[in-house]
A = this chain, B = another copy of it.
C-alpha cells in the first residue's frame, strides 16, 4: 500500500495538502481522475486534485471552519482510497480569510475585517529572473499594495519580448531572437515555430505559480490571477476548448485552496480574436463548479466592458474607457452594476509612448483619491522607461514613481474610514463628497475632496447639532492639519493648492 503524506494540522483558511503516488502511464494530466472529499461539522466539500509530475498527485483544501476534518481521496489515479483526519486551528492573527463582497460595493475578509483594495499590476513578474522576483516581493512588502494582478501565461508585447523563466506546457517555443519592437505584432496568437503540447503541463511552471501565490499570501497581498490574456506568440490564447478547459481545471485544482486567490478570467478579454462570450461563460461555469471556495471573479476589458451584471461576476474589474475621465465615472458604474467597482486600469504612471502608460504621479494619485471618495477601489501600474527595460507594469522590480508613496498615506486614511467604506454624496457640483456607505448606522464621517481644484476656503453645513472635528488633508504632500471643532455652518480655510481634502468627523 502506497503512503499518503498530508498536513496534520492547519489553520482556518490555511491550505491542507495531501500527497500521493499514482499512475503515470500515458498522460496523467488527462487520463486519470483524483478527488478529495472533506468533512467537518460545518462543511462537506469535494475538490479535484492534480498531477504534479514524477508520479505524484496532490489534493489541496482550504478549511473554512475550525475543528476536526476527515477526508477521503480517490479516483482512477490509484486503486487505493486514501482517508485521514486533520485538525483545523484558529486562524493566525494576520490571516483574515478570503476576501468577500461586503455591503454591495465594498469588500471585507471573511472574518469581517474591511479590505480596502489598493491594487497594482505586474503582469509577468513571476516569470522574470529569480533576482528580479525577489526585488519585486521586497518592493511589494514595502508598499501599500494589497492586491496584484499577474498572468499565468507568459506575455508577448512591446517591452515584453524576452523569454519567460518557464513555459506552462511541455514543448519548445519559437525562436525569439527574430523579435523587435518593430515586428513583434507580426508574431501574435500561435506564431510559427512553437511546439507545445497543450495537454501536458510543465509542472515546474505551475509549482512556481503556487509558490508565488503563497509568497503573496505571506505579504497579505491578494493574487488577482489573470488566467488568460491575449499578449501571446506561443498559442496559449488560441488553444482548443478542450485544452482551455483542461487548463482551467488544472489551475483551479492547484491554487484555489490559497485564500488570497482572485480569478480574473482575462485581461482585455475583448482582444482575443478567437474567444466568444460563450467561451468566457463556459470558463465561468468551470470556476463556479470547481472553485468550491467562491473566490472573487471578474474579467477585465480593453474597450467594451464585459456585462458586469452577470451573476457569476463578483465585482467590476475596469479598464477606463475615456482618456480624460476614469475614476470620475465611478458613480455611474456603481448605479449600473451594484457591485464593488475595482479600477484595475486607470492608466499607469510613467513615460512610455502609449497613452495608457504615461501619466504623472500627481494625476495617478488624483485618480486614486477620486476613486476612493466615490466608493471604488483603484489600481496602479508603472511604466517608466529605463535602460534595463524593466518596467514594473510587466516585470516588477523597483518603483520609480511618485504615486506609491502617496498610496501609503491614502491607505492610512482608508483604514481610518468606518466599514464598509465610502459612498459618493449627492453634493456640491465642484467637490467630491463622501460619506460612510452604511445605511444601518448613522456614522457622521465625511471626506470632501477637491481634486485639481484649488479653493482658498469652503463652507460646510452638515447639521446644526453635531460637533465635528475637521482636518485638512494634503493628499500630495501627505499632511493632515487639524482645524479644530466646528458646529452648524462653518468655513474652513484651505491653502489654494491642488489635491486637498477636508475630513469632517463627529467628535466622539
Which residues on the B side are within 8 Å of A354 (C-beta)?
A: 430, 455
Which residues on the B side are within 8 Å of A455 (C-beta)?
A: 351-355, 358
Flag whether A1 is at the interface (Cβ < 8 A): no
Q: Of all chain B residues, which has the CB nearest A457?
A: B353
A356 to B453, CA, bound (A): 9
A323 to B328, CA, bound (A): 10
Q: Quick one: CB contact mask for A419-458 with B, threshold 8 Å, 1 for yes?
A: 0000000001111000000000000000000001111111
Flag whether A496 is at the interface (Cβ < 8 A): yes
B360 lies within 8 A of A498 (CB): yes
A360 to B495, CA, bound (A): 13
Q: Quick one: CB contact mask for A297-326 with B, threshold 8 Å, 1 for yes?
A: 000000000000000000000000001110
Which residues on the B side are within 8 Å of A212 (C-beta)?
A: none
Given contact pairs A325-B325, A328-B324, A385 touches B353 in the complex (Cβ within 8 A): no
Chain B nearest CB: distance from A104 CB in Å? 25
Given contact pairs A430-B354, A458-B353, A496-B385, A452 touches B363 in the complex (Cβ within 8 A): yes
Q: Of all chain B residues, which has the CB nearest A347?
A: B453
Q: Of all chain B residues, which has the CB nearest A349?
A: B454
A351 to B359, CA, bound (A): 24
Flag whether A459 is at the interface (Cβ < 8 A): yes
B328 lies within 8 A of A459 (CB): no
Given contact pairs A430-B355, A431-B355, A456 touches B325 in the complex (Cβ within 8 A): no
- Residues of chain A from 488 to 508 with CB closer than 8 A to chain B in the complex: 496, 498
- Residues of chain A from 450 to 473 with CB closer than 8 A to chain B in the complex: 452-459
A454 lies within 8 A of B360 (CB): yes
A72 to B360, CA, bound (A): 67
A interface list, Cβ under 8 A from B: 323-325, 328, 350-356, 358-360, 363, 385, 428-431, 452-459, 496, 498
The 4 closest A-B pairs by CB, nearest first: A355-B430, A351-B496, A358-B454, A353-B455
Selected A-B contacts with CB under 8 Å, 20 pairs? A323-B430, A325-B325, A350-B454, A352-B455, A352-B456, A353-B455, A353-B457, A354-B455, A355-B430, A355-B453, A356-B430, A358-B453, A358-B456, A358-B496, A359-B453, A360-B452, A360-B454, A360-B498, A363-B452, A385-B456
- Since A324-B324, A352-B455, A359-B454 are in contact, a sample of 9 more A-B pairs with Cβ atoms closer than 8 Å, ordered by chain A residue number, is A323-B429, A351-B496, A353-B458, A355-B430, A355-B431, A356-B430, A358-B453, A359-B453, A360-B452
